[in-house]
Chain A
Amino acid sequence: MEHESNKTWWLQAIQTGLIGGIVAVLVSLIGMVESFHERDIIAGQITMGETLLLLLVVTFSYFSSRGTEDTPLPKRLASGALTGLITGSLAAGLILLGKAINLREVFVNASPSLYKILTFENENTTIALMILLVTGAVIGLLTALVHVIPLTWRRATISGLTIAALIALLQDLLRITLTPFPEFSKSIAWMFGSRGQEGLSVNGALVVFIVVTAVNYFSATRGDAVRGRVRALPTGTQRALRWTNWGLLGAFLLIWPQIAGPYLSEVSNSIGLFILMGLGLNIVVGYAGLLDLGYVAFYALGAYTMAVLTTIGGEITANFELTFWQALPLAILGAVLAGVILGIPVLKIRGDYLAIITLGFGEIIRIMFLSDFLKPYLGGSFGIVEIAPPTLGGTPLNTPQTLYYVILAGCLVALFVAYRLRDSRIGRAWKAIREDEDVAQAMGINLTTTKLLAFATGAAFGGLSGAIFASKLSTVYPHSFVLLVSINVLALIIVGGMGSLPGVIVGALLLVGLPELLREFSEFRLLIYGVLLIVMMLNKPEGFIPEAVHKRELHESDNVSTPAGA
């Protein structure tokens, strides 16, 4: 075995390098590199496009040089360098090919500026190719060295680099957030590039990297000691500490729209609506294990109920002209009823079949809203306009910054409900059905009521989200409720961690918030989504914040207090 792996290490390195190279050529040809090149990570030094290519080389060299625990260093270095070299040579091949024939007839994005990026703006092709090959090999070699670094340092360094890149990417967000504090904002201006869209300055990047790495290293090495000391504090102090933390978080959430301004508040509102839907679908899919691909139906029903009941004009015949607060419970009730109506016929259906049927249900609802038959009542493809905004004491809450509070309140209520249900009798019954339906039933669980409760509770959150969505936009159209919304919500649950509440929030921030902030790259959104999901499924199928973690947290104190050796 050992002998065989000796013989073929270089074959494996070449293979990995070829895959890396193909990916690099692909992202170049679809225009990702060029589009990403518009943004600087470090002002004037390195762009997002270059970072992408660099990241590819690093990732693939890392895997090829990983080996086993006792792989000798020279072999690791050679593997890494070889992989980097191969990846670089494929990119070089692309350049040569581009010089020889006009690739643009097939690949629109194979533009001169792409070659400029790949050749580091070097006029002389031979020199450019040499640079490309050498850079690839050197980066591969350096990546292989990572394996020598102790694990704590390695983790700290990686998180330092990741955070620095994230800050550079999201510097808009930081700058807008800091505008209410002009003094502070001015005092850290040196950290960023001089003009907008410029990422971090060299010094800024260094400072962020060093600080984050150091903090990470200390929390890895000394963190346990600190946590132990906190635990040793009297219970009263500990509780006070915890309440202070929650209080700070609460205060931040309350003042956030004032700091953030209208644009970021709008982004937060989108995230909030998806958190609401995520929490609802999490009950159906995450807790009860009922794969629902038509969840958008409840969102649509909530939105249309709100629209029909509160619209004050337009084409449609029904004029109820209720206020937002009068219509809200009815919108939720409408969604719940739909949940039960969907639930009854699918009670006996499991797994894949359930997914297909719910998928159909979601489409039926959308097509119903679109139909000419219901046009006098629902407006057909013109939708419903002039939907009343929420009001508070007579003032309409129709700006992103005021609507934020309605959505925040909705999210908090939904979080509370989902949290309370998680470890309740009903919550356990849901999870039991997820694990083994037959055994759950033989344990005395009534499948009919328990499943219907899951559908109804999930639908209620979806309906609430839809109702707020309708009055936020003040118009609803059938095409807002396409299948992709269901897929989005499902994806954010999977990425966050099935059945996990913090996971829903993390998933919404990653899959809704981040794309909103990186709008200019939205044409690659689905591609990145797909890659992210595949990588998650392969390496971390339980999600970023798996459900099981909360158990360990909950019971940590029990374990500490049990006498050793008992």
Chain B
Amino acid sequence: MSNILTAKTVTKRFGGLTAVNTLSIEIPEKSIYSVIGPNGAGKTTFFNCITGFYQPEEGDIVFNERSILGLTSDQISQRGISRTYQNIRLFSNLTALENILVGQHALLKSTLFGSIFGMAGTKREEAEAVIEAKRLLAFVSLARKGDMLAKNLPYGDQRRLEIARALASKPKLLLLDEPTAGMNPNETEDMTKFIRRLRDELGITILLIEHDMRVVMGISEKITVLDYGEKIAEGTPKDIQGNERVIEAYLGRGSAAQITA
């Protein structure tokens, strides 16, 4: 299996702080890959480098065998990378349906003049886009809530709507930033199943930031652990669970010694 995304010695600094330090990751196609680490380890910064929010100072990021370094986030989205956010960032004053339609923006072609004059092609495209958006709403079980403003949806629905919006651009790689944050065990369970469905049914590669270890260990095929911007471990869930440096990073040196002793 080939790698869909390869990060080569990516480094991102903010002034004197090195948020991500010579990080190299290879993400195989159609895998579920997790990035974990304590707070402030640089996980979200790494996401922001991939999606073009930040430009790394060093290194290269290759997606589908082409470098995406220096591209703007809209160009990266058009290459096939889509994401969700740690603190939900929906278009809160648009309806759920409109949020998904915005997600399809790059796939649609209608122009200003096409819309003004109501050209046949534009109308057809718009009708198809609405059908597709409703299909996506149903896929994340929000079929009846399409007309609600995004800000009026309950928390769990907002999380799923954000994923549906990310899916609307038909990505090959989906970046999920703490998708189960703030969820109860039942909801977390549902979300875990849902993420697996995304990969199995839609064939999308998933890159995941997550704090809930049950989720991470349950669905990841491979895990990278970051601490202070550096990769301290990499491997299958089993490898990671027994890794001394990881336990140390999470619990501190003393407790790590107690556990391994």
Does A354 touch B at the CB level, under 8 Å? Answer: no
Q: How near does chain A come to B133, taking the closest CB pair, in angstroms? A: 11
Number of A-B contacts (CB under 8 A): 103
Say if the beta carbon of B159 comes within 8 Å of chain A: no
Task: Evaluate whether A445 and B102 lie within 8 angstroms (CB atoms) in the complex, with A424-B115, A426-B115, A436-B91 already known.
Answer: yes
Whether A417 sits at the interface, judged by CB under 8 Å, is: yes
Assess whether B108 is in contact with A425, with CB atoms less than 8 Å apart: yes
A424 pairs with B74, CB closer than 8 A: no
Within 8 A of A (CB), among B101-120: 101-103, 105-108, 110-112, 115-116, 118
B91 touches A417 (CB 8 A): no
CB pair B93 A443 closer than 8 Å: no
Given contacts A426-B112, A429-B105, contact A442 B91 (CB under 8 A): no
A439 touching B89, Cβ below 8 Å: yes
With A and B bound together, what is the CA distance between A410 and B121 in angstroms? 27
A59 in the interface, Cβ–Cβ < 8 Å?
no
Are the CB atoms of B83 and A424 closer together than 8 Å? no
Q: Is A500 at the interface (CB under 8 A from chain B)?
A: no
Contact with A along B116-131 (1 / 0, CB 8 A): 1010001000100100
CB<8 Å pairs between A and B, sample of 25: A417-B116, A420-B118, A421-B116, A424-B112, A424-B115, A425-B101, A425-B110, A425-B115, A426-B110, A428-B102, A431-B91, A431-B102, A436-B91, A439-B89, A440-B91, A440-B102, A441-B74, A442-B74, A443-B169, A444-B106, A444-B107, A457-B112, A551-B95, A551-B147, A555-B147
Which residue of the partner chain A has the closest CB to B162? A439
A428-470 with Cβ < 8 A to chain B: 428-429, 431-432, 434-436, 438-447, 453, 457
CB atoms of B74 and A446 under 8 A apart? yes
Report the separation of the CA atoms of residues A425 and B114 in the bound assembly, to the nearest whole angstrom: 10
Whole-angstrom CA separation of A42 from B216 in the bound complex? 77
Chain B: interface size category: 35 or more
Please give me the residue from chain A that is nearest to B91 by CB atom: A435
Q: Is A548 an interface residue (CB 8 A)?
A: yes
Assess whether A558 is interfacial by the CB under 8 Å rule: yes
Closest to B78 in A: A444
Task: Tell me whether A424 and B126 are in contact (CB under 8 A).
Answer: yes
Known A420-B116, A425-B115, A431-B98: A445·B85 in contact at CB below 8 Å: no
Closest CB of chain B to A244's CB: distance in Å? 24
Residue of A nearest to B112 (CB): A426
The residues in A between 371 and 421 inclusive whose CB is less than 8 angstroms from any CB of B are 416-417, 420-421
C-alpha gap A429/B83 in the complex (Å) = 18
Closest residue of chain B to A440 (Cβ to Cβ) is B102
Q: Are A442 and B126 in contact (CB under 8 A)?
A: no
Closest CB of chain A to B55's CB: distance in Å? 14
Nearest CB of chain A from residue B82's CB, rounded to whole Å: 8
A539 close to chain B: CB less than 8 A: no
What residues of chain A have their CB less than 8 Å away from a CB belonging to chain B? 416-417, 420-421, 424-429, 431-432, 434-436, 438-447, 453, 457, 548, 551, 555, 558-559, 562, 566
Query: Which chain B residues lie closer than 8 Å to A416 at the CB level?
Result: 116
Write the nearest CB–CB distance from B70 to chain A, whole angstroms: 15
What is the chain B residue whose CB lies nearest that of A420? B116
User: Does B72 make an interface contact (CB < 8 A)?
Assistant: yes
Contact B92 A444 (CB under 8 A): no
Considering only residues 1-18 of chain B, those with a C-beta below 8 Å from chain A are: none
Q: How far is the CA of A457 from the CA of B111 in the complex (A)?
A: 13
How far is the CB of A238 from the nearest CB of chain B, in Å? 21
A-chain residues with CB within 8 Å of residue B83 when the two chains form the complex? 442
Question: Is A443 touching B102 in the complex (CB atoms < 8 A)?
Answer: yes
With the chains together, A264 CA to B122 CA distance in Å? Answer: 41
CB A345 to nearest CB in B, in angstroms, measures 18
Q: Which residues of B contact A427 (CB under 8 A)?
A: 115
* A461–chain B nearest beta-carbon distance, Å: 13
Please state if A548 and B149 are interface contacts (CB–CB under 8 Å).
yes
**Chain A: CB-nearest residue to B53:** A438
Q: Is the CB of A443 within 8 A of B77?
A: yes
Measured CB to CB, the closest approach of chain B to A170, in angstroms, equals: 35
A562: B residues at CB distance < 8 A = 144
6 new A-B contacts at CB < 8 Å, known A425-B105, A429-B102, A442-B77: A420-B115, A425-B129, A426-B110, A426-B115, A428-B101, A551-B149
Check A428 against B73 for contact (C-beta < 8 Å): no
Complex CA gap A467/B166 in Å reads 44
CA distance A428 to B78 in the complex (A): 18
Closest A residue to B77 using CB positions:
A444
B94 contacts A428, C-beta separation under 8 Å: yes
Chain B residues lying within 8 Å of A566, measured Cβ to Cβ, are 144
Whether the Cβ atoms of A428 and B144 lie closer than 8 Å is no
Are A432 and B91 interface neighbours, CB within 8 A? Answer: yes
- Interface core residue of A431, A441, A443, A548 (most chain B CB under 10 Å): A443
For residue A342, give the distance in angstroms from its CB to the closest CB of chain B. 18
Report whether A438 and B94 are in contact in the complex, using a CB–CB cutoff of 8 Å: no
Q: Which of B85, B94, B116 contacts A432 (CB 8 A)?
A: B94
**Chain A residues within 8 Å of B77, by CB:** 441-444
